[in-house]
Amino acid sequence: MKPNYTKNQSPDIEQSIADIIKNLTLEEKVALCHAQSKFSIPGVDRLGIPELWMSDGPHGVRGEINWDNWGYAGWTNDAITAFPALTCLAATFNPELSKEYGMSIGEEARYRKKDVLLGPGVNIYRTPLNGRNFEYMGEDPFLASVMVVPYIKGVQEKGVAACVKHYILNNQEHWRNHINVEVSDRALYEIYLPAFKAAVEEGGVWAVMGSYNKYKGQYCSHHERLNKILKNDWAFDGVVITDWGSAHDTREAALNGLDIEMGTGTDGLTKNIKNAYDNYYLASPFLELIRSGEIDKKYLDDKVRRILRLMFRTSMDSNRGFGRMNNKEHLDVARKVGQEGIVLLKNENSFFPIGMEIDIKIAVIGENATRLMTFGGGSSELKAKKEISPLEGLQEVYQKASLTYARGYATGLPSYGRVNPPDEDPKILFAEAVRVAREADRVLFIGGLNKNHQQDCEGGDRKGYKLPFGQDALLKEILQVNKNVGVVLVSGNAVAMPWLREVKAVMQAWYLGSEAGHALADVISGMANPSGKLPFSFPRKLSDNPAHYFGEQSYPGDSVNQYYKEDILVGYRWHDTRNIKPMFAFGHGLSYTTFEITEVKTDRKSYTQADKIQITYRLLNSGSVKGAEVVQVYVGKHRSEVPRAVKELKGFKKAELAVGEDITETIEIDVASLKYYDESKAGWELEKGDYWVYVGNASDNNSEKIRITIE
């Protein structure tokens, strides 16, 4: 008779796990530690232990992949809701919305019978060339930490494990499979680890994915120091999973905390024996080392214990719901995230919003107005049941206006599963766009990047900072015939804007998923008031970015090593401290209304390490429409004895106000969060003395500056 191992039948899960381990053979234990297909590990049939199934995320549940290769299985029931990319979610500065996002995607994963969702990603935005930045939550560790926790909780409330990734320092795609990152301990602890730490200690995440790259000479997926931090210092009780193919050594994998090895090669069902699942590092080679006594069985049992714990939380939990997919509520969340994440960067003479009732001629120009963006990007590509393009969204809204569309430029690239329009002569496309622009009252240029290789895509970085496909030249010509131009950038990265002074408005629109066109049209028309804030800085030129300022040794490295020479001065920390003005600052984002932040004060002037600093302020909507503002609190040490950034984000709060409405709010900051990592002591140190508290609505726009003292 098979024992009962489900949660509702066993009050002591750990005892049940111990009982199972006693009943497993050595071979069955090892089999649990490695893949049996592209996205699953085996169960144990004789004990009633089910398989564990994973799926790529983090913006939706990926289409079904074949058992034995990377081709799509061709299912007709695996189309899902595509949610906006995580850069957009981070730009909302709205943790409550992050929870809704997580719950929605968790329900879709559960409906698809997935046990582990491979996301979210929290690698730090270090360079605007990183092809995978669109999957992450920006340049600031505090923002990423605050936003990732509710996402994780939302997913896991639905009985699906979140798998936070990529642990750690996967801040570029170029040479990602072998580049060795050299970074100071201080930068590691202050910049690159905090969001992972929050995912574990506050989010209670059930799985962590190791990255491809090396750190200080050792591969991160089985890194002795990194996994001690994770499992010992942070008491992580879940599983460490490789990125696909990121394991390189059986002994290191066995001893250094790797629990499940997944891979990119073919399996034993083909003639390729080398990549057979049984020949993975944590497969037969692992079994042989245990049998020979070279590796203690306790390392295997620890892995199995963690894997079974994950199963009890997911595939062996009979109490979890059935999930839902493609329902109105999920589409509403996707649309809301898009609305709140879109960032209005510039809006001269109130170019936006464009009223729906106005009978005008609008020229919509640019391939990104019609290009489907749920395809491509690498492992995060999605099979959306429906994707509303920007042009479709605008056509629905502007029925009284005359909308004319011109593609304008040709990408000359395939689009991952979608047939592009036949590539016309670029000169013809160019001329047609200029003609359409000349005849319009307003021009909406919808361009940016796309999700093909060496743009916003896994597996390769961008080759440069400027817009591709001649978009800059096209914009220059359009501006010669029509000065009333607004630019909508669809991208997950900052781009150069040589035309910035000449255009009337710029909107950062991200990759918005299934409801892209609706969300964008909502904001352009004024049905939704933009409230997004940039989760990373836009440098004026590439060399203004700290990773690039120090040359090739810093980025991309010499193909063997790279050195994070900017240390802790990432993003706005660099711009502030080096007094290098960005094109658009971290936290920047305009509105169709105006806000006033007044009556800013702290609850007192002096604090101890155990205290909390309470910052109160009055926020007034002094404009003419309802809107939301994000009040941001930064703190900096006055005359610090150690190198520091001028200021760092330590708190924020978003509030929506009606016209004329004002509220008094409080943001609370732990004094302990002001510590820096002291490498000489291998621990955190609080520097006493005076600090500055900055309160405003962007890293470069502070309404008040208050001095406090830490005793």
Q: Domain 342-536 is classified in which CATH homologous superfamily?
A: Glycoside hydrolase family 3 C-terminal domain (3.40.50.1700)
Which residue's entry shows tokens 């002037």? 605
pLDDT tens digits, residue range 500-512? 999 999 999 999 9
Q: What integer pLDDT is reported at residue 465 of this predicted model?
A: 97
Question: Which residue out of 56, 140, 243, 576 is catalytically annotated?
Answer: 243
**Which residue from 519, 400, 33, 544 is spatially nearest to 507, judged by alpha carbons?**
519
Q: Domain 593-710 is classified in which CATH homologous superfamily?
A: Immunoglobulins (2.60.40.10)
Q: What phi, psi does 686 have (nearest 5°)?
A: -100, 120
Q: What integer pLDDT is reported at residue 421 of this predicted model?
A: 54
Residue ranges per domain, the chain?
Answer: 22-313, 342-536, 593-710
Q: What integer pLDDT is reported at residue 462 of this predicted model?
A: 96
Please tell me the number of Cα atoms within 13 Å of 378 on its side-chain side: 17
Q: What integer pLDDT is reported at residue 276 of this predicted model?
A: 83
Please give the distance of CA 75 from its chain centroid, rounded to a whole number.
Answer: 28
pLDDT tens digits, residue range 236-295? 999 999 999 999 999 999 999 999 999 987 655 555 566 688 889 999 999 999 999 999
Q: What integer pLDDT is reported at residue 418 of this predicted model?
A: 39
**Which residue from 342, 359, 402, 360 is spatially nearest to 526, judged by alpha carbons?**
342
pLDDT band at 12 (very low <50, low <70, confident <90, very high): confident
pLDDT tens digits, residue range 288-305? 999 999 999 999 999 999
Q: Mapping DSSP to helix (H, G, I), strand (E, B) and coil, where does residue 345 land? A: strand
pLDDT tens digits, residue range 417-453? 334 455 678 899 999 999 999 999 999 999 999 999 9
| Mean pLDDT for all residues in the chain | 94
| 342-536 and 593-710, same CATH topology | no
pLDDT tens digits, residue range 293-341? 999 999 999 999 999 999 999 999 989 999 999 999 999 999 999 999 9
Pick the more confident residue, 418 or 698.
Answer: 698
Active site residue 567: no
Q: What integer pLDDT is reported at residue 424 of this predicted model?
A: 73
Question: CA-to-CA distance for 416 and 347, rounded, in angstroms?
Answer: 34
* Average pLDDT for 176-202: 98
**Which residue from 522, 515, 479, 472 is spatially nearest to 495, judged by alpha carbons?**
472
pLDDT tens digits, residue range 569-604? 999 999 999 999 999 999 999 999 999 999 999 999
DSSP string, 352-369: ----TT---EEEEESGGG
Q: What integer pLDDT is reported at residue 6 of this predicted model?
A: 41
Least confident range from 100-104, 406-410, 477-481, 698-702: namely 406-410
Fold designation for 22-313: TIM Barrel (3.20.20)
Percentage of the chain surpassing pLDDT 70?
A: 95
Q: What integer pLDDT is reported at residue 414 of this predicted model?
A: 44
pLDDT tens digits, residue range 61-101? 999 999 988 899 999 999 999 999 999 999 999 999 999 99
Which residue's entry shows tokens 């111990």? 18
pTM of the model: 0.95
* Average pLDDT for 111-140: 98
pLDDT tens digits, residue range 44-54? 999 999 999 99
The secondary element (H helix, E strand) that includes residue 644 is none
Structure tokens at 348: 């001269």
pLDDT tens digits, residue range 613-660? 999 999 999 999 999 999 999 999 999 999 999 999 999 999 999 999
